[in-house]
Structure 1
Amino acid sequence: MNHLLTSHWAIELPSDHSTAQFAAHELRRALQRMGGPVLPITGAAAGPRIALRHGPDGDGFVRMADERGLVLIGEGPRGLLYAVYSLLEALGWRWIGPGPADEHVPRWAQIRLPAATVAEQPAFARRGLVIGHDLFLAQAEAWIAWAARARLNTIFVHTIGTSGMPLGACRWRYWQQRRQRLWPLIEERGLRLEIGGHHLRDAVPRQLFRQQPDLFRHDGRRRVTSGNPCPTNPATQAIVRDWARGLFAAEPNASVYHLWPEDRLGGGWCVCSRCAALSPSDQSLILVNVMAAALAECNPTARISFLAYHDTFAPPQQIAPAVNVEVVIAPRQRSYAAGISDTTNPVNGPLAEQIAALRVSFPAGASMFEYYLDGILFKSALPPLGPTIAADLRAYYEWGLDGVHVLLTGDRPWLAVGPNPHSFAALAWQPQRESAALRGEYAATRAPATAALLDTAYAALETAWRHALAIKPADVRRQHDGHRRDPVAHPPRDILDSYDTPPPHCEQRLAALHEALDALPAGEAALAAAQHTAVAEQAALAADAAEWSASALLLRFLAARQEAAVVQARRAPLARQRQALAAARAAHTDLLNWAARHVPPPARAGHRLLRMLLALHLDQLESRIALPWHSARLRWQRWRELVLLLARLWWQWQR
């Protein structure tokens, strides 16, 4: 049969399922945008047709030609939608991000439908985008549309209640405001909704402490309101159960609820006489099981998660999970320079055994919570992580994990999303794809005329970041989250902040950062050549170039900060130490100047807070060589800046 599309064709869909109907209309709109005819959608076509069929459930699909045209069969309605998007990709469509600049729409004088048979199944049953900041929740329409086109099947809205700071999560109140608009978009695409975050502190209000201090944890000396509640107290359990029941009733559409303990590296658990023998994982699971019992009563098909994260990364030893409790594994303290299964990597190597133990401990299911789109972890940058994402997802598939999620968060909206979203989505569907080819697809979609140059620039940046992210166990040990500390004297530090580790590691870290800087010139030259060549693509290239330069400036700051620490550790002359600190201050100023040009006003306070933490690191180094009066003045100045920034953020959150 001739598969040339004409106005005599139709889209045949006997199903009235809303997702199947959406798939048919997506197909009709897309064919029209490509230059094809406007096809009627009918339950039974008399002539040539694109037949759409689906079974009860599933994401797999088959596409094949027959004597009347083309047949697309999805295992379920969502599988049919993916079959439509697969057909459009075969015709030249590309979606590598959430905006019009991340979409390539082919134009054809004639559209010839592919006759080859295609059958596909996803590697992971759950493939999720985690929307983790108000900035991205404001853009959620575009992200939801992209997620479906990229064959992700879960939208996880990562929230925080009124008792926490929404620096890496969406305010619960803002989600409630947006839900009426966003839930229909999620539902019509057949996507799953997951909801929640570090909400356990909301379950037991701090106002109860005066009347019922036993609800709260014992820190070894007394009961305190910081950290998580006392999990073995029956009164605590009753309050948590009632609170969870109310939340489940208020959010009935979720398939998985995430009601996690406080976000801290450690020390937030109870050591009272009943709890002292229980590990953090056991204490956490006690309350998860309490909430699971309430969930089973009001929504038997839904599940609740146990978060394996920081000090709950070890499997529970004394408490068994309820049948509707699954595990979400969040390996944030890892090296992103290598795949998580790299046994030669001193940071990642031990994680494989722990992940396997967690998978066995939670038979209801296990999924990974990854950070490839985390602008907070990577300090307001998005390092290209294609080889790491590919290695990780191959390992997660081989280890039998049920799902993979990626956290989208940060302190500012991205000017260009870079290759990571496209790489993650493609590899979550088929982990054997080549990361370099996926990076090339991103470049070809963003700037077709200069794709090779843009790809070269991102390849150079990928190399640079691989050196910068090659952390060692000493780097992990230097991390702390700032809880119960003076944030000016002891600012929070993350995986990129091991600037004052003991020698010789401190100098090895500097050498690695210099290798990162050595990789940048090739990328800068490629970007400059692309911008000089492609007049028609200047807008897209300008956005990618701005994000590229943000990464380069950050890497230069990290190297300058490390050099200041190394010079100080060597006990160099004071003049040399001050010179190194001045260079690091100048690199920090370059970051602020970039922000003045590219960060929109609504995001500036949050971005400035993240950049202020870097300035506090330099203050820490300077305080060791400065005169006491100078250190005191600098400390007062930073406190003033911090208070003003937090007041501005608080005002934004209240509005």
Structure 2
Amino acid sequence: MNYLLTAHWAIEAPSEHVTARFAAHELRRAIQRMGGPALPIAGHATGQRIALRHGPAGDGFVRMADERGLVLIGEGPRGLLYAVYGLLEALGWRWVGPGPGDECVPRCAQISLPTETVAEQPALARRGLVIGHDLFLAQAEAWIAWAARARLNTIFIHTIGAGAMPLGACRWHYWLQRRARLWPLITERGLRLEIGGHHLRDAIPRRLFRRQPDLFRYDGRRRVADGNPCPTNPATQALVREWARSFFTAEPNASVYHLWPEDRLGGGWCACPQCRALAPSDQSLILANVIAEVLAELNPTARLAYLAYHDTFAPPQRVRPAANVEVVIAPRQRSYANGIGDATNPLNGPVAAQITALRAAFPTGASVFEYYLDGILFKSALPPLGETIAADVRAYHEWGLDGVHVLLTGDRPWLAVGPNPHSFAALAWHPQRDPAALRGEYAATRAPAVAALLDTAYATLATAWRHALAITPAEVRRQHDGQWRDPIAHPPRDLLDGYDTPPPHREQRLAALHEALDALPAGEAALAAALHAAVAERAALAADAAEWSASALLLRFLAARQEVAVVQARRAPLARQRQALAAARAAHADLLNWAARHVPPPARAGHRLLRALLTLHLDHLESRIALPWRHAQMRWQRLRELVLLLATLWWKWRR
């Protein structure tokens, strides 16, 4: 039989399921964009056809040739859609991100259909994209379309209530505004919706503290209106039930709800006589079970996610999860230089042991909340993490986890998304794929004429970041414990901010950052050569180059900041310490100059806030050698800057 596609062919699609119908139209549109004929869609075709069929549910699919053409069979309607995208990939299509520049559309004078039999099944049952900022919720149409094409099956809208700052989440009311537009896009692709975030504070508003202080946690000395509520108080549980009912009613479409405690490292739980013997994990699970009871009444098929994160990362010991409670594991305090299953890594080894214990403690289900697209964790950059993602997903699959989600958040929209989204989606489906080949696919899609040069640039950047991300337990311990502190005297820190560890660790960190900088020149040369040779793809390549330079500037700042900490630990002459400080402030100014060119106006206040935290780190270092008048000057400058930035952001959020 001749498998050359002509106008005499048809798309046979007997199913009336919305996702099956969408799959048929996606196939028809894609064939036309390739230069092929506009094939009719029929319930029954008498001649040559591409037959689309599906079973009741599932993501796996089979593609095979027969005497009348091609047959695509999905385990369920979504599996059929993935079969269509799999066929298009076999014909040369690629989707490595959400933008027009992330799509490769093959142009063919003739389209010859592949005849080999293909059967595919995802390694992980749940593969999710977490939309975690208003900036990305505004772009959600493109991200939802990409997620389906990349064979992700879950859209998780990470939200926060009106009383909290939405720096790493979407405002709840903004989701409600966008839902009418986005929900049809999610449903026609057969995607699951998960929703929520750190909402527990919404259940017990701080305004109740004066009248009902017993609702709130006891800190060992008194009741306080910060952190999480007192979970054993029946009045607390009654309010949580009432609030949960209103939340589920406001958003009835999710398959999993996430109503988590406060986002803090520790110190946010109750020490009253009833709670004192309960670990943070047990206290959190008590309230999760209360909420799950309401969910079981309203939506028996949905589940509630208990969050294992920071001080709730250890498995609960005294409380057992309700039948509809699963666990989502957020291993944020780890090293991204290595895979999570690397037992030799001093950070990842203990984390891995906790993950397997959590999996055993929650028989209903367990998924992972990962940070490969987190512009807050990586300080407004996206390190290429293909090797780490591959090792992580293989470990998660081996440990029997149900799925993995990746958080998409940050302080600005990406100019180019880099290789991580494509690598994550492909590896979540098939963990044995080669991450270097996936990075090459990204480069070939973005800039086909100079793909090798762009791939080289990202490979060298990945090497540089691997050195920078090789953090140690000593550096993690420098983070704050979650208690409120004066942010100017004690600036907030994250995983890349352990610059003032004890001297041996400071020296090791500086050496690692210098190794990172040593890797950059080869990448810069490759990018320069690619920009010189590029013609048609110059705009896309310029976006990748800008993001690449953002990473390089950040790594140079981290090295300069570390240099200050090291010369201070060596008790170098004051002139040398001031010289190092001046170099670090110049590196920070380079970051701000980059932002002035590349960060759009709506995102500038949020971006400047994250960069202001780096300024506070330099002030903290300078305060050790500064004269009193300089202390006062720095404090006034930073206080004024932070107040203005927060006021600008608050006004924007309120509007």
Report the TM-score when normalising by structure 2.
1.00
Equivalence for 2:444: 444
**Following the alignment from structure 2 to structure 1, what is the Cα–Cα distance between the partners of residues 88 and 396?**
29
Unpaired runs of 5+ residues, structure 2, are none
For the 8 Å contact 1:372–1:407, the answer to whether it is kept is yes
Partner amino acid, structure 1, of 2:354: Q
**Following the alignment from structure 1 to structure 2, what is the Cα–Cα distance between the partners of residues 318 and 117?**
52
Three-state SS of the structure 2 residue aligned to 1:194 is strand
**Following the alignment from structure 1 to structure 2, what is the Cα–Cα distance between the partners of residues 4 and 112?**
4
Three-state SS of the structure 2 residue aligned to 1:349 is helix
Partner amino acid, structure 2, of 1:421: P
| Aligned: 1:557 with 2:557 | yes
Q: CA offsets, 1:462-520, max 9 Å, x none?
A: 00000000000001101127641001111110110011111100000000000000000
Q: CA deviation at 1:536?
A: 1.7
Equivalence for 1:249: 249
For the 8 Å contact 2:63–2:71, the answer to whether it is kept is yes
Percent identical across equivalent pairs? 84
Q: CA offsets, 1:124-183, max 9 Å, x none?
A: 110000000000000000000000000000000000001111000000010010000000
Equivalence for 2:117: 117
**Following the alignment from structure 1 to structure 2, what is the Cα–Cα distance between the partners of residues 425 and 484?**
38
Q: CA offsets, 1:277-308, max 9 Å, x none?
A: 00000000000000000000000000000000
Q: CA offsets, 1:500-549, max 9 Å, x none?
A: 11110000000000000000000000000000011222101100000000
For the 8 Å contact 1:481–1:492, the answer to whether it is kept is no
Q: CA offsets, 1:41-62, max 9 Å, x none?
A: 0000011000000000000000
**Following the alignment from structure 1 to structure 2, what is the Cα–Cα distance between the partners of residues 461 and 480?**
30
Equivalence for 2:417: 417
Three-state SS of the structure 1 residue aligned to 2:336 is coil
**Following the alignment from structure 2 to structure 1, what is the Cα–Cα distance between the partners of residues 371 and 383?**
11
Partner amino acid, structure 1, of 2:583: A
Partner amino acid, structure 2, of 1:262: E
- The equivalences for 1:3-18 within 5 A come to 3-18=3-18
For the 8 Å contact 2:371–2:407, the answer to whether it is kept is yes
**Following the alignment from structure 1 to structure 2, what is the Cα–Cα distance between the partners of residues 631 and 536?**
53
Three-state SS of the structure 2 residue aligned to 1:14 is coil
Partner amino acid, structure 2, of 1:517: L
Three-state SS of the structure 1 residue aligned to 2:45 is coil
Equivalence for 2:336: 336
Q: CA deviation at 1:226?
A: 0.3
User: For the aligned residues, what is the CA RMSD?
Assistant: 0.6
Equivalence for 2:146: 146
For the 8 Å contact 1:482–1:490, the answer to whether it is kept is no
**Following the alignment from structure 1 to structure 2, what is the Cα–Cα distance between the partners of residues 554 and 611?**
10
| Aligned: 1:362 with 2:362 | yes
Three-state SS of the structure 2 residue aligned to 1:493 is coil
**Following the alignment from structure 1 to structure 2, what is the Cα–Cα distance between the partners of residues 60 and 151?**
10
For the 8 Å contact 2:266–2:483, the answer to whether it is kept is no
For the 8 Å contact 2:581–2:622, the answer to whether it is kept is yes
Three-state SS of the structure 1 residue aligned to 2:349 is coil
Partner amino acid, structure 2, of 1:130: V
Partner amino acid, structure 2, of 1:367: S
Equivalence for 1:381: 381
Partner amino acid, structure 1, of 2:279: S
For the 8 Å contact 2:460–2:522, the answer to whether it is kept is yes
Equivalence for 2:627: 627
- The equivalences for 1:136-175 within 5 A come to 136-175=136-175
**Following the alignment from structure 1 to structure 2, what is the Cα–Cα distance between the partners of residues 496 and 354?**
23
Equivalence for 1:20: 20
| Aligned: 1:79 with 2:79 | yes
For the 8 Å contact 2:267–2:483, the answer to whether it is kept is no
**Following the alignment from structure 1 to structure 2, what is the Cα–Cα distance between the partners of residues 228 and 10?**
59
**Following the alignment from structure 1 to structure 2, what is the Cα–Cα distance between the partners of residues 352 and 588?**
35
**Following the alignment from structure 1 to structure 2, what is the Cα–Cα distance between the partners of residues 569 and 350?**
30
| Aligned: 1:298 with 2:298 | yes
Seen in structure 2, the aligned counterparts of structure 1 residues 336 and 260 have a Cα distance that, compared at 3 Å, is same
Equivalence for 1:274: 274
Three-state SS of the structure 1 residue aligned to 2:8 is coil
Partner amino acid, structure 2, of 1:267: G
Equivalence for 2:261: 261
Q: CA offsets, 1:312-364, max 9 Å, x none?
A: 00000000000000000000000000000001111101112111110000000
- The equivalences for 1:636-651 within 5 A come to 636-651=636-651
- The equivalences for 1:192-211 within 5 A come to 192-211=192-211
Three-state SS of the structure 2 residue aligned to 1:350 is helix
**Following the alignment from structure 2 to structure 1, what is the Cα–Cα distance between the partners of residues 89 and 71?**
16
Unpaired runs of 5+ residues, structure 1, are none
Report the TM-score when normalising by structure 1.
1.00
| Aligned: 1:426 with 2:410 | no
Equivalence for 1:346: 346
Moved runs in structure 1, 4+ residues, more than 4 A?
Answer: none
| Aligned: 1:230 with 2:239 | no
Three-state SS of the structure 1 residue aligned to 2:88 is helix
For the 8 Å contact 1:275–1:283, the answer to whether it is kept is yes
**Following the alignment from structure 1 to structure 2, what is the Cα–Cα distance between the partners of residues 64 and 16?**
22
Partner amino acid, structure 2, of 1:337: A
For the 8 Å contact 1:134–1:169, the answer to whether it is kept is yes
Matched residues, number: 655
Moved more, 346-355 or 460-469: 346-355
